[in-house]
Chains A and B, each alone.
Chain A
Amino acid sequence: MIRKLLIASLVTAVPGCGGGGGSGGSNTETPKTPKEQVSALETSGFIPQLDRGTSLTGSDANSNGVRDDIETFIAKTYSTEPRRAAALQTAKALQHALVVTLTDATAVKAVDRQISHGINCIYKQFADNSPHPARVTQELESVTTNTKERLLAYLQFNKALDGTSSALPQGDTCE
């Protein structure tokens, strides 16, 4: 309940999300629809604000292999450069999973290895468990697969890995 009240007060405090008309200093607020309330959570950063286009790759203005919206999410969500770099490394690998040629078993395993190295790097950089590396990994997996097309492509990648094995790499796998 306390969290609910806190979030509600923070959401209404965000400019443009509070429902006030803005002109004339009116105190009359138009009640938000439930859908608008969810959008407000997105705008205020309580849930991720993501590109929902139909392409698998989305927009990548700096061509670093990570969607712009995910790059923004990483910059806002994780503190310190080494942590952001670990998240970007993993996000890039997860993005590869959506577009790799699934009939090329060697390429599929190579992407799997990139993901494994990225997660290993996350476990190194988030070793203080704040946030926990398991949560970081799930957030990156979830924002990468935020549309039906992306989620289905990702599951097909996982299907292509059925019956494979991989080892936990030793040492520093951060790029």
Chain B
Amino acid sequence: MNKSIQRVLCAALAFLLCISGASAQVSTPSSVCRDAGLIFAFFNGVQTTKAQAEVAKQEFKHLHGDQSASGDRISYEVMYNYSNGFEDFVETFEQRLLEQEGLLEGRFELFFEALKGDGPWWSRIIDSVASAAGILKGFVDWYEAAAVRSLTALLGNPPTSVNYAEHRSRIQNWVIEGKKILIVAHSQGNLFANAAYNFALSQTTADSVKLVHIAPASPALNGRHTLADLDLVINGLRAVGSVASITDFIPGYLLRPAGVNGQKDALGHGLLEIYINQGLVISSRVKSHIEAAMAALVAPPVQATSGFFTATLTWDGSGDVDLHAYEPDGSHVYYAEMTGNSGYLDVDNVVANGPEHYYASCDAATLQPGTYQVKLANYNAADGRTATVQIASWNDGVLGTKSVTLGEATGDIPAHPLFNVVVTKNAQTGKFSVAIGQ
């Protein structure tokens, strides 16, 4: 039997597995996963740490819940972007701490509060030593200009989806698993979100992916937006180029209620302090945009099953690249043997780009603890292509993404070992967990 015929039969089998797998996942009592129908993908703003982006994700969950109005369970994800030059801000902050005869010398714990221009610790210091307010104001004034410079530089050299392989692969995985995708972006995250949105449109239709812009640093919009009149960062960008129109007026700094973190943000640009601050009317616009976008989303066709963990393969052009999974009991799962003892290859591609998709079962009776080896083969005509494999768990999202340049064709022999995925079962609780091993 040649590979094409074999693959047609396997594809039919995979389709049946996909349908039965999907239904088993939600109805089997022994399921160890909870599937989501809607992805809330948050792209963070300028000078945001990953932990702060995690907090934003938690706050969005608090505001929008576990389930959409149409009954889809929501999975919240952060698509993180770092602001280049963030570390340079530390040098300037250090200089400010040395002012007034070293009044605050070495107190770098005040840094993150200072980025918002206020905070409980700064307030206590200023209450005791009023002149410390001058140190904070000097830093905030400098920071305002520096943030605008940082965003202007980014606008001059905007990110493309090519720079963000993990984001791209993640979106591709959501599409083939039939997820509705809501992208919500704040500040500089809008530039990354626009690139991600355009990539998503190459994989699915505009019915299945929506974008909501918050304080967009980009003049290009792909959805509804919210922008405060006293957002000094975006106003600074307006001075050097075009930005989106103002949608809302917010109270001046002294009249604003603080956000959940106890801060008001002197620059009027913060997500928690301004745009999702439930004490400000502007937050209702953001919320209504998100809820309207959720309601309008239509699920793309399901091509693959969400598993306990998944391995998704893509590559950058024509050729036939194969995903191989070796399960703990030695079962070899690939195009010629799509059903293993714990998982399945449910998407196969023999032409170009991928994806190929393996998933491990959510059924506790089927899922084997142990090491799953994930490897690649250039089956044919993919020499020199860059292939990317992403491992993701149902609970934590992406565990790892690796790319490799393929060598010459090796047929069914996988020459590129990429991941050891370790599934463990707690003997006392029976709870399964998964991690990338050595």
Contacts and interface: CB of A to CB of B under 8 A. Distances in A.
Interface of A: 3-4, 7-8, 11, 34-35, 37-38, 40-41, 46-48, 50, 52, 94, 105-106, 109-110, 112-113, 115-116, 119-120, 123, 129, 132-135, 137-138, 141-143, 145-148, 150-152, 154-156, 158-159, 161-171
B302 to A, nearest CB: 19
A115 B50 contact: yes
B59 interface: yes
Most A C-beta atoms less than 10 A away, residue of B52, B80, B396: B396
Interface stretch (B1-9, B19-27, B108-116): B108-116
B77 A168 contact: yes
A61 B401 CA distance: 37
Given A146-B107, A161-B82, A109 B77 contact: no
Contacts of B108: 145-148, 150-151
Given A3-B127, A138-B112, A142-B109, A158 B49 contact: yes
A138 B261 contact: yes
Interface in B83-109: 86-87, 90, 94, 100-104, 106-109
Interface stretch (B161-169, B210-218, B358-366, B374-382): B161-169
Most A C-beta atoms less than 10 A away, residue of B82, B165, B170, B400: B82
Contact of B163 (A35, A50, A134, A163): A163
Contacts of A7: 124, 127-128
A116 B396 contact: yes
8 contacts: A7-B127, A38-B104, A38-B132, A105-B400, A141-B51, A148-B108, A163-B164, A165-B398
Interface residues of B, number: 68
B121 interface: yes
Interface residues of chain A: helix, strand, loop or mixed (majority): helix
A82 B61 CA distance: 22
A171 to B, nearest CB: 8
B75 interface: yes
A3 B106 CA distance: 26
Given A38-B129, A115-B50, A158-B82, A165 B166 contact: yes
A159 B111 contact: no
B321 to A, nearest CB: 21
Contacts of B52: 137-138, 141
B429 to A, nearest CB: 11
Closest 3 CB pairs of A and B: A167-B397, A162-B82, A146-B109
Given A109-B436, A110-B435, 19 more contacts: A11-B128, A34-B103, A47-B121, A113-B396, A134-B58, A142-B113, A143-B109, A148-B106, A159-B86, A163-B163, A163-B166, A163-B167, A165-B80, A166-B78, A166-B397, A166-B398, A167-B75, A168-B58, A170-B395
A115 B51 contact: yes
A164 B53 CA distance: 12
Nearest to A33: B101
Nearest to A147: B108
A134 B398 contact: no
A44 B111 CA distance: 21
Nearest to B121: A47
Nearest to A143: B109
Contact of B128 (A4, A110, A132, A143): A4
Contact of A161 (B41, B50, B399): B50
A165 B164 CA distance: 10
A34 B100 CA distance: 9
B76 interface: yes
Contact of A137 (B51, B107, B131): B51
B381 to A, nearest CB: 29
A145 B397 CA distance: 27
A91 B108 CA distance: 17
